Amino acid sequence: MLETGTKAPDFELPDQNGKMHRLSDYAGKKVILYFYPKDNTPGCTKQACGFSERYPQFTEKGAVVLGVSKDTVASHKKFEEKYGLAFTLLADPERKVIEAYDVWKEKKNYGKVSMGVVRTTYLIDEKGIIIKANDKVKAADDPEKMLGEV
């Protein structure tokens, strides 16, 4: 996990519609950049729907929400349409940004060890500095918690 007070690495990734986004596109706004393991899984769906429900409140506070996983653009599109998500999902199948943000880690699940995305949320300020970093994310609670941090 990257430390608070450090400059957030810039990146370029496609969204669920294939449009490219850079972190630098959002200079002047707060960015909630959250990394999640997989589209259409129970925890990830709860987290995404929570951010979507609160999206108007985030925009009122001058913040944007960007969700990142290693799923494809097509997978993100289906996920967005299925749940009517109101924010941007970024596809990182090559894990460039996932690794730049240090969220690709060894995970243990029922005694089995594998590599995967550790659910992590960063709050990045208007100048591109990480002001909050949380890798102990509870999917259902994260959107409300982050709304309080913005």
**Considering the entire predicted model, what is its pTM?**
0.94
Whether 108 has a pLDDT exceeding 90, the answer reads no
Q: How far apart are CA 33 and CA 64, in angstroms?
A: 8
Q: Give percent above pLDDT 90 in the chain.
A: 93
Residue 146 near residue 67 (C-beta atoms within 8 A): no
- Which pLDDT tens digit goes with each residue over 9-65? 999 999 999 999 999 999 999 999 999 999 999 999 999 999 999 999 999 999 999
Q: Residue 97 class from Cβ within 10 Å (0-12 exposed, 13-18 middle, 19+ buried)? A: buried
| pLDDT mean across residues, the chain | 95
Q: Are strands 63-69 and 30-35 parallel, antiparallel or unpaired?
A: parallel
**Is the model's pLDDT at 137 over the cut of 90?**
yes
| H or E stretch covering 91 | strand 88-91
* Per annotation, catalytic residue among 31, 32, 33, 44: 44
Q: Is 44 a catalytic residue?
A: yes
For the chain, count helices (H), then strands (E): 4, 9
- Nearest partner of 51 among 124, 147, 133, judged by Cα: 147
Other Cβ atoms within 10 Å of 144 Cβ, number: 13
